[in-house]
Structure 1
């Protein structure tokens, strides 16, 4: 049987990374907390990948990587649209493309997976003992096995089901699908604000968690910090080397960055939200390194206050 967990899947898609790469599709990879260069020219096909992230073994025991293919089908036209966005050109169709790109990458990250695993642990502690009190389950057990179950009998069955769904990655893949749809609907209620850096000699960085939802007041960043989308006061992500987008409840005018400090503050948010690394165009590496080295001096408050 084909092992679905041997195939390499991109956490940040290759086509998305291409928007930040040089002509030979290479990016510089930098440690987000220290600013150290991890790789000066890494091929995007090998960057931000994980074996079998979106794969599962279905109930027939067959390897299934369809979710990765479905994500790719959705993403191809989206990224074509993303590259057309400018401060003067971001109508409803292009705004919807931003929302879809953000939703895809919010569930396509190890931060989301870690949050998912915490929920599974909560299920094990809270849900399994609760099963033992369900009369319908106790009656079904008695009918199937001809004996009255103990609480532990019911818990053991629930534990086996949970372990099987974790082992085959079905629980994670199903959660990605459900949360992608939920997040896309949630983000569709926001307005898209375009941010450009064409007038500066530096570009946006792309984190291993590229789409940031943060609560600046409490200094919490994303699923890593158990932050729900609805509790964020900042949702922002880079689109290309020179374009980013933020989501807001009310319409906001586009921002054309002309001051390097403002650009640094935005890249600092991308670095803080990353789990480990950020990537950038090799020509932007020096500036991105400086940002990562001075995160404590680059306040994100202006991004929320306007």
Structure 2
């Protein structure tokens, strides 16, 4: 019995210990945050549990830059930082939190001559946009509401001075969204006149995409945006059922290669219990760590997948 128990413990330990060819990973934090404090703790936990070296990529000063710097500028800085890190030359993995997913995906799609991203873990990311300002910090909420009310979310000033404005997508104002939003339409390849095949090819080249949704998320509206789900366009959207990813035009027409990844079995749709960006250590070990240490198995993929 003792020998059997020891063997089981050994197998469990080996499941979270990195293989010799583990790649480094980078972390992108969310709005009104920085790479110190809790994000540094998360990064260190992921390093300890995976055995892979992790780096939090800071943009500007962190807190203020995440609120006020346009997302395209943030993405450009992230691109240059990643290309300057020799540790990432052979490829790397990404873990992104909330708004950090906009920078992470921009990095994957827009960054020329960058090292390849292998696995991308999106935690509570506004992938399909949000129908109302993402609000959890009182300071951010107040400034967002005031500027949007006075100038309009798709005005040039708001787009250039509030990062979250770059992924607000009001379902009954799509023409203004496509004309005025300076980030998400490009990221999701929604602009028919300038759809870029390179963005699709780069995103579809991922080895694995893990989309984690928090089941009690009230910051992202709808919460299903974490899975690329969104409201149908047009009046009455607030009372409409959210479209799952595979019923959206982004998926059906394969604008960014999401359909390609799904059909190849490379996408995991994960639902965890908690509010926005809340996740237990056990769920981190179960759903994130395997994609950082090269220990992903078919059984792990099957157990973490949920139907879209």
Shorter chain as normaliser: what TM range?
A: under 0.3
TM-score by length of 2: 0.27
Bigger radius of gyration among the two: 1
Highest RCO, 1 vs 2 (Cα 8 Å, sep ≥ 6): 1
- More strand as a share of residues: 1
